[in-house]
Amino acid sequence: MASAARPVRILLADDHTLFREGVAEILAASPGLEVVGEAHDGKGACDKAAELRPDVVLLDVEMPGQGVRETLAQLRAVAPGCRVVVLTMHDDVALARELLGLGAGAYLVKGSTRHELIAAIHSVQVERGPGHVILSVSRQGLDRLDRAPGESLSAREREVLALTAEALSNAQIARRLSIAEGTVKRHLRSIYGKLGAVSRMDAVNKAVTSSLIPPPLRRDGT
């Protein structure tokens, strides 16, 4: 497990060089993250994981050679301490259910934002438990995949989180709800604890996935 004294060590596994390079640039610019290796197929990912012992593997679903299911099984064997974030073009409930059941810690479609990717990496690394991060997958039928919040959110906490999803600052939320900014911060700390979240984005993603709050509107209003 990565400690506070060193960055989260990441292995990238994707057969598209341009995609790997793009993700590597994003992660290199993110404090606390370090790309320690790259692979272009499942076997290479397992070999590199055994050699480098990364904290997190970013694993593409469709690569040449062995399939993602075999790769997940081998990663558990050769690098049992690492966590796997699956990256895919498929917004597929059944596939998410299967791969999370096989040990992946997160399921992200490649349309996710850089902030969502970084939040997912930190989340799976910090939690090290049975919870899952699921982004951009149809919500129907996924409530059983995510860990249920240990405690239900209060009505006020849901209000705070819904406004957080609108990208409002703590000060803006305080004004909207006619409460002190310090109260907003206390609510957010409570929300993080109940959801097992590590950031505002992570809390919003988990709350939306668990149907605790509605999905935020896109900038185009959809």
Amino acid symbol at 219: R
Q: What is the pTM of this model?
A: 0.60
Q: How do residues 95-135 score in pLDDT, each as one tens digit?
A: 887 888 888 888 888 877 787 788 888 877 765 544 455 55
Task: Check whether residue 164 and residue 74 sit in a common domain.
Answer: no
pLDDT in tens, 26-84: 999 888 899 999 999 999 999 999 999 999 999 999 898 889 999 999 999 999 889 99
The reply to whether 18 and 113 lie within a common domain is yes
Mean pLDDT across 139-150: 43
Query: What radius of gyration do the chain's Cα atoms show?
Result: 18
pLDDT at 173 over 90: yes
CATH of the domain at 196: 1.10.10.10
Answer whether residue 95 is part of any domain. Answer: yes
Q: What is the pLDDT of residue 48?
A: 96
Q: In what order do the strands lie in the sheet with 56-60?
A: 33-39, 8-13, 56-60, 83-88, 106-109, 133-135
Residues 128, 159 share a domain? no
Same domain, 128 and 167: no
Q: Which domain holds residue 189?
A: 155-209
